[in-house]
Amino acid sequence: MSARTTLRAFPTLLRVGFAEAVAYRAEMLIWVLSTTMPLVNMVLWMAVSREAPVGRFGEADFISYFLATFAVRQLATSWAAWLINWEVKQGTLAMRLLRPISPLWAYAVESIAAFPMRLMVAVPVILLSVALVGQKAVPQHAWQWGFVVLAVIGGWAVAFLANVAIGALCFFLESSQKVLEVWLVLFFVCSGYMYPVELLPPTLRTIIDWLPFRYQIGVPVEMLTGAYGWEESLRLLAAQWAWVAVLGVLAAVTWKQGVRRFAAFGG
């Protein structure tokens, strides 16, 4: 398959992916409702900070942080690992392999095509944050908004490529669902999804900085809440996209080696 063939197929794949997202909007709504943990955490941390701020976080800061977390979670997510496991087990991956475009591109485009639907959830939540907290809930400068876009795209790429690498392990393990569960547990602990990473002890925070989880959710949220200046934002974006590169290589190698072991039977 050539890059030209892949690019020519992109518009069609996007249209099909968007049509599927609209068709399965009820399923998406259920998924959105299953990601309301940041709203629960927001209430808990607001109660904790009522008497005195926690670090730099007062009540208003926790509101903007966790509403931003809820919004970013709608965008920087992927279900590719679950899909790969299911298609390998069912043998339906064979149909994707017969097409003149890599299944990895198809998985990616299907996820990207759902962005408009997900923005319909994320944007009102960000506007709600501005209504409750004020202008300081969002970046004040144009360059910060540019960094927000890069950080959200990078967060999605980290989630997608990690999902592909984990999903491709099913070629070797029959099922990589347990590996995905371990990844999700580490994600909840280390990503900033349950609490701001900067509230952790310095040693633990240093370890987390070397792991990929924070770059999926924590960094985009910190960019969206305008937590950092120019230099620190650039450093975090560089680290995030370095992880995108590492996970990209890992996903490509795991997939390439794994798909050679794939065999489907039936009629």
pLDDT digits (tens, 9 = 90+) for 70-96: 999 999 988 899 999 999 988 888 888
Calculate mean pLDDT across residues 181-193: 93
- 3-class secondary structure, 169: coil
Which tokens go with 228? Answer: 């950092």
Distance CA 154, CA 160 (A): 10
Which tokens go with 252? Answer: 């490509």
Q: Above 60 in pLDDT, residue 267?
A: no
Q: Is the pTM of this model over 0.75?
A: yes
Q: Could you tell me the pLDDT band of residue 265, with boundaries at 50, 70 and 90?
A: low
Q: What is the pLDDT of residue 227?
A: 86
The dihedral over CA atoms of 203, 209, 215, 221, expressed in degrees to the nearest 10, equals 50
Distance CA 255, CA 169 (A): 8
Distance CA 126, CA 191 (A): 20
Q: Which amino acid, one-letter code, is at 165?
A: A
- Least confident among 10-14, 47-51, 145-149, 158-162: 10-14
Q: Above 70 in pLDDT, residue 1?
A: no
Q: Above 70 in pLDDT, residue 266?
A: no
pLDDT tens digits for range 194-247: 999 999 999 999 999 999 999 999 999 999 998 889 999 999 999 999 999 999
- Sequence-ordered alpha helix ranges (H) in 140-226: 142-168, 170-173, 177-190, 202-209, 218-224
Q: List C-alpha distances in Å: 198 to 19, 80, 189.
A: 40, 30, 13
- Better-predicted residue by pLDDT, 145 or 266: 145
pLDDT tens digits for range 123-169: 999 999 999 999 888 999 999 999 999 999 999 999 999 999 999 99
- Better-predicted residue by pLDDT, 31 or 184: 184
Match 């967060």 to its residue by tokens: 155
In the chain, what percentage of residues exceed pLDDT 70?
98
Q: What is the pLDDT of residue 146?
A: 95
Q: Average pLDDT of the chain?
A: 90
Which tokens go with 166? Answer: 């984990």
Q: Which amino acid, one-letter code, is at 187?
A: F
Q: Above 80 in pLDDT, residue 5?
A: no
* 3 Cβ contact list (under 8 Å, min separation 6): none
Q: Could you tell me the pLDDT band of residue 32, with boundaries at 50, 70 and 90?
A: confident
Q: Tell which residue, 80, 67, 66, 152, has the closest CA to residue 115.
A: 152
Q: What is the pLDDT of residue 2?
A: 66
Q: Above 60 in pLDDT, residue 179?
A: yes
Distance CA 38, CA 43 (A): 9
